[in-house]
């Protein structure tokens, strides 16, 4: 039979797995955001319009928000606390104020 100790251990494993998943998502989305920041510095060389760059940045922010909500819902469903979030670690000042 599983005791309280076993249940706590299982919950900590589930929380660790969710935090690991959140870290992977966060790292991938940060890499995409960093790539957009680099592209914004040389967008003419890449033949990328300000509108397209803006749309890609908005899409990335929407994806980050959706991933955050999904992980929070999964944590609530599993009755564990999510310690790592998918929020942006860097403010991409170079592209966040990009005009259309």
CB 43 within 8 A of CB 53: yes
Greatest mean pLDDT among 10-14, 61-65, 87-91 lies in: 61-65
CB atoms within 10 A of CB 82: 19
Rounded average pLDDT over 4-28: 72
- Rounded to the nearest integer, the mean pLDDT of the chain is 77
Reply yes or no on whether the pLDDT at 89 is more than 80: no
pTM of the model: 0.67
Q: What is the pLDDT of residue 48?
A: 79
């Amino acid at each position: 039979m599983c005791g309280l100790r076993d249940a706590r251990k299982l919950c900590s494993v589930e929380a660790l797995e969710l935090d690991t998943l959140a870290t992977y998502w966060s790292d991938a989305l940060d890499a995409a955001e960093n790539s957009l920041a680099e592209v914004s510095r040389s967008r003419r060389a890449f033949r990328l319009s300000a509108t397209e760059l803006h749309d890609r940045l908005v899409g990335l922010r929407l994806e980050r928000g959706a991933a955050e909500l999904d992980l929070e819902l999964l944590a609530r469903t599993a009755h564990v606390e999510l310690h790592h979030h998918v929020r942006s670690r860097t403010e991409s000042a170079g592209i966040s104020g990009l005009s259309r």
